[in-house]
Amino acid sequence: MKVTLKIKRFNPEKDAAAWWGEYPIEAEPTDRLLDALNHVKWYIDGSLTYRRSCAHGICGSDAMLINGANALACKVLLKNLGSRITIEPMRGFKVIKDLLVDMEAFFEKYRKVKPYFVAHSPEPEKERLQSIEDRERFEDTTKCILCGACTTSCPSFWANEDYVGPAAIVNAHRFIFDSRDESREERPSILGTADGVWRCRTIFNCVEACPRGINITRAIGEVKKALLYRKF
C-alpha cells in the first residue's frame, strides 16, 4: 500500500521553527509505524530523529503523537492509520529534534514520588511472603514502561506543568498498594499537595493513551481515596 507520512520536523541547528515534511512511501499494511519511520530515516532522509529500541512495545522509547493520539510507533500498524499519517512529538515536553523530546522533566517527577521499595523491618532469610490476592492488588501498575504517553495526553498537565502527572502517580500506586512496602508517610505528603493527585480531573485521556493498557484513572482514584481515608 501507499502511505504518506506527514512528520513535524525541527532541527535546532537549522530551523527557526518547526515545519512539516511529507514522505510518500510504499509499505505493507501489517508494517508498524516504526517500520515506516525507519524506512524514511534509512532510505530517504537520514537526519530524521526519534528514539526507538526494542520495537515491540516494551522499552517505551517511541511514544509520539500519531494522528492526534499518543501511541508507541512500534505498536500501531499502518493498516489502522489510513493513507495519510500525521506524526508529531508528544505534547507538553520540550522538543529537542524532530520527534525526540526532552524527557528529563518527566523522570524528575517520577523520581519525586519515591518510586522504589522501602522496608525497614529486617530482611527474612528467604522471601517476604505475599498472598496471591495482595500481589494482584497492584498488578496493573507494575506494567508501566515510563514512555510518557499518559502524562503528555493529559489536559491537566498541559495546563499546569508542575502537576506530577499520571505516570508518576501510577508508579507511586505500585508501591502504595504493595503489602510489603513500609513507607507510609512520604508518598502521601508528596501526592496530597496541590500539584499531586488532586489535579487529576478524571478525563481518561491517559487510559486511552497507555500502550500497556493500565487503567490509570482508576489507579489515580485509588490513590485519592487512600489519601482521603488515610489508608496507607
Partner 1 sequence: MIHKHDEVIVGAGGAGLMAALNLSTHGRVGVISKLYPTRSHTGTAQGGIGAALGNHEEDHWEWHVFDTVKGSDYLADQDAVEILCREAIETVYELEHWGLPFSRTEEGRIAQRPFGGHTKEFGKGPVRRSCYAADRTGHMILQTLYQQGIKNQVHFFNEYHLLDVLITDGRCAGVVALCLATGEIHTFHAKAVLDATGGCGRMFRVTSNAHSLTGDGMAVALRAGVPLEDMEFFQFHPTGIYKMGILLSEAARGEGAILRNRAGERFMERYAPTLLDLAPRAMYREMREGRGIDGKNYLHLDLTHLGAEVLDKKLPDITEFVRTHLGIEPKKEMIPIQPTAHYAMGGIPTDTDGCVISDEKNTPVAGYYAAGECACVSVHGANRLGTNSLVDILVFGRRGARHAAKFVKENDWAPLPAKPDERAREQVSRVMAASGKERAASIRDALQDEMMEKASVFREAKSLVAMRETLGELRERYRQVKIDDRGTKYNTELLEVIELGNLLDLAEVLVESALVRQESRGAHSREDFPKRDDINWLKHTLAYRTPKGVEFRYKPVTITKFQPMERKY
Q: Is the Cβ of residue 141 or residue 156 nearer to partner 1 in the bound state?
A: 141
Grid coordinates belonging to 56: 515491540
Does residue 70 touch partner 1 according to CB under 8 A? no
Does residue 86 touch partner 1 according to CB under 8 A? no
Strands 63-66 and 69-72 come out as antiparallel
**Minimum distance of partner 1 from residue 225's CB (angstroms):** 22
**Minimum distance of partner 1 from residue 192's CB (angstroms):** 21
Rg of the chain over Cα atoms, rounded to whole angstroms, equals 20
Among residues 18, 119, 159, 203, which is the contact residue for partner 1, using CB under 8 A? Answer: 119
- Residue 94: which region, alpha, beta or left (left: phi > 0; alpha: psi -120 to 50)? beta
Does residue 175 touch partner 1 according to CB under 8 A? yes
Does residue 22 touch partner 1 according to CB under 8 A? no
Among residues 33, 66, 85, 145, which is the contact residue for partner 1, using CB under 8 A? Answer: 145
Of 82, 89, 100, nearest in space to 27 by CA? 82
Q: Is the Cβ of residue 4 or residue 49 nearer to partner 1 in the bound state?
A: 49
Query: Secondary structure of the chain: what % helix, strand, coil (to 5)?
Result: 35, 15, 50
# residues near partner 1 by CB under 8 A: 62
Does residue 11 touch partner 1 according to CB under 8 A? yes
Measured distance CA(165)–CA(154) in Å, rounded? 8
Does residue 184 touch partner 1 according to CB under 8 A? no
Grid coordinates belonging to 39: 524506512
CA angle 92, 94, 99 (to 5 degrees): 95
Does residue 128 touch partner 1 according to CB under 8 A? yes
Of 57, 49, 48, nearest in space to 210 by CA? 57
Which residues in this chain contact partner 1 in the complex, by CB under 8 A?
11-14, 30, 32, 41-43, 45-47, 49-61, 75, 77, 96-97, 100, 103, 107, 111, 114-119, 123, 125-132, 135, 138-139, 142-146, 174-175, 178, 180-181, 213
